[in-house]
Amino acid sequence: MSSKRDDLLRAAKKLLWERGYEATSPRDIQEASGAGQGSFYHHFEGKLALAVAALEEVSAEMCASATGLLDADASGRDRVTRYLLQTRDGLKGCRLGRFAGDAAINEPELRAPIERYFSVLERYLAKALSDAQRAGELTSKCKPKDLATMLVAIVQGGFVLSRIHRDKDAINRATAAGLALLSEATKRT
């Protein structure tokens, strides 16, 4: 149906990823989408409403990806490994975590889809870690929930360091080290 609406959403998702909320103007989105002022304000109440709709889609996509990796049939240990060893392009940054420093994070409507993703991710990761502990694949005495928070922090902080150092692999070194340390907290047989 409404092709222009989809075009606007697609452009918004792209530009919000690249530049964040503050640095993206409605005009930028109109130009990138090929839609005019009229379409923009016909389909959305304003910039914030469009950003909320865009981030809700991104959140749903990333939730699906994370649960796909973590919900599966493999052992707890393998699920955590699979999540951590995803290859990431650190220069692009996290499509949702990047908003932590954006002034827009203070808008409750915009923060909601972002927080939803991280809550899901941490819960699934904690479950996998808990399974790994019970299976004896992980002997750390840390609470699974705290370990999950720590692992997600490694990913998010990895993006930060990659962008600051202009080194796309900094994040991959950080997650690899996290996984290695986790392995070393594993019972040797």
List the interface residues with DNA, window 5-64 (CB under 7 A): 5, 24-28, 34-43, 46-48
Per CB under 8 A, 164 contacts a second copy: yes
Q: Under the criterion CB under 8 A, does residue 19 sit at the interface with a second copy?
A: yes
Rounded to whole angstroms, the Cα distance separating 148 from 83 reads 11
Residue 25 vs 139, nearer CB to DNA: 25
114 binds, among a second copy, DNA, none (CB under 5 to 8 A by kind): a second copy
Q: Write out the DSSP string of 114-133.
A: HHHHHHHHHHHHHHHHHHHH
Which tokens in the block code for residue 118? 């991280």
Q: Is 58 in the site for a second copy (CB under 8 A)?
A: no
**Cα dist. 35→3, 16, 29, 96 in Å?**
10, 17, 8, 25
Q: Which does residue 134 bind out of a second copy, DNA, none, counting CB within 5 to 8 angstroms by kind?
A: none
Cα angle value 93/96/101 (rounded, 5°): 80
Contact between 157 and DNA by CB under 7 A: the answer reads: no
Least separation in angstroms between residue 40's CB and DNA is: 7
Give the separation between CA 160 and CA 144, rounded to whole angstroms: 24
CA dist list (Å): 136 to 82, 124, 180: 18, 18, 17
CB < 8 Å & 24+ apart, contacts of 30-35? 33/4, 33/7, 33/8, 34/4, 34/7, 35/4, 35/7, 35/8
Query: Can you tell me which of 65, 67, 156, 168 binds a second copy, judged by CB under 8 A?
Result: 156
4 lies in the binding site for DNA (CB under 7 A): yes
Q: Give whichever of 35 and 154 is closer to a second copy, judged by the CB atom.
A: 154
Which of the choices a second copy, DNA, none does residue 93 contact, using the CB cut-off of 5 to 8 A by kind? Answer: a second copy
**127 interacts with DNA by CB under 7 A:** no
By CB under 8 A, residue 168 contacts a second copy: no
Among 32, 48, 49, 105, binds a second copy (CB under 8 A): 105
